[in-house]
Amino acid sequence: MDFTLSDQLLDLRDRTRAFIDDVVIPMEARDRVRGHGPDDGLRADLQDAARAAGLFAPHVAEEFGGLGLDVRGQSVVLEEAGRSLLGPLAMNCAAPDEGNMAMLERIATPEQADRFLAPLAAGDVRSCFAMTERAPGAGSDPSMLTTVAEPDGDGWRIDGEKWFITGGAGAAFAIVMAKTTHGATMFLVDADTPGYETVGALDTIDRISPGGHARIRLDGVHVPADQVLGAPHEGFKYAQVRLAPARLTHCMRWLGCARRALEIALDRAETREVFGSRLADLGLAQRLIADAVIDIETSRATIARTAAILDAGDRDGQRASSVAKVHVSEAVNRIVDSAVQLSGSEGILVDPLGRLIDEVRPFRIYDGSNETHRWSIARRAVRARQREREATETRRRAASPA
């Protein structure tokens, strides 16, 4: 693998970092209202600033107003964007919209792209991805879907309830996953469709997502046939198109967040005097700092390798994204936790480190819990070893004298 960054990408990285430091971080003082996500006025100001800086929608194709970066390029820019919780929102590359845009680019018909992708890429609307359900429905296991879609005249009727849908409140439309006769199907559902109801936001510890994590009821929701996303009954296949890259972009953004936490802790360690020495000169503090640096470097390398696999269209993308999700989510939590510890009493203030630790902790649960990913990684490892043994045995038999 070549980890060399092009001059264009280096310029984008540096401009993104300057934008976050000089424009976005000073605007964090406006995001103090208790609730989910910044208000619409702050979001609009952030996005206007990103457009003016030429940094809007780095992941979206140029025909839809974005920068058209591949996954490797996104890994560089989104890491810098993540140094502020408001950065991805400003640059229109925050979840769930970023993942929905990527999926719509790959799967939507031209008509669907004009109607749903174009305004989303422009930042005119928000969206949500409605797959998760409350137990015993689909959580980490999408095959447990209880929301059902049945043919209904010239379209489909959807009935069910979704749970923990990020960005659900205030979204203009949802990509809804529902069980159908031969699998599952994805539907583009306008939020003003009769029978579609958003039932408030859950009171979670993470609060940066506009619209929070909502419950959505679907009671006899009629969706026309031209709002099926992709082919009917192929929803599980399309979910993987979205979920593997979306896990990785989460890793990119949260790695930036962890870097910011370490920067804050380093500033304190350099200036804090304890027991006649700078905190940064004490062995116990140095251990925390060194481990955080190691976690950042290994996380960045894991992300870069997975990005290269996804860009190449390699079938190993699902496994690689699971490995990245587990490693990076746990590394990020360690880094932010160490930053809090190094910062002492200042570390447990809500701003900035208290806010960061609340935001990163849920990452070990969403996009598939780490335990689910470990189960999947282990199963793939066992199957791969079985195939290797079988191939070795076949080769030996073929080479043996008759």
Query: pLDDT tens digits for 115-146?
Result: 999 999 999 999 999 999 998 888 777 789 99
Between 402 and 294, residue with greater pLDDT: 294
CA 135 vs CA 142, 178, 205: distances in Å: 11, 15, 20
Query: What are the extents of the domains in the chain?
Result: 7-94, 127-233, 237-387
What sign results for the dihedral spanned by CA atoms 301, 28, 211, 94?
A: negative
- The residue among 26 and 4 whose pLDDT is bigger is 26
The per-residue pLDDT for range 51-76, each reduced to its tens digit, is 999 999 999 999 999 999 999 999 99
- Model confidence over 14-35: pLDDT tens digits? 999 999 999 999 999 998 767 7
Q: What is the mean pLDDT of the chain?
A: 95
Place of tokens 């990285």: 13
Average pLDDT on 168-195 reads 97
Region 363-368: mean pLDDT is: 92
CATH architecture of 237-387: Up-down Bundle (1.20)
Residue range 255-277: mean pLDDT, rounded:
95
Q: pLDDT grade, residue 402 (50/70/90)?
A: low
Q: Match domain 7-94 to its CATH number in 1.20.120.1200, 3.40.50.360, 1.10.540.10, 1.10.10.60.
A: 1.10.540.10
- Whether the CA torsion 90, 96, 101, 102 is positive or negative: it is positive
User: What is the C-alpha to C-alpha distance for residues 162 and 99, in angstroms, rounded to an integer?
Assistant: 18
Q: 292 falls in which pLDDT band (50, 70, 90)?
A: very high
The pLDDT score that the predictor gives to residue 133 is 96
Where does the pLDDT of residue 113 fall: very low under 50, low under 70, confident under 90, or very high at 90 and above?
A: very high
β pairing state of 213-224 and 228-229: unpaired
Residue 36's pLDDT is what?
87
From residue 129, alpha-carbon distances to 37, 95, 199, 313 in Å are: 17, 10, 15, 23
Q: How confident is the model at residue 337 (pLDDT cuts 50, 70, 90)?
A: very high
CB contact at 8 A, 77 and 71 = no
* C-alpha distances in Å from residue 16, one per residue of 49, 90, 91, 118: 12, 11, 9, 23
- Judge: domain 127-233, CATH 3.30.70.360: no
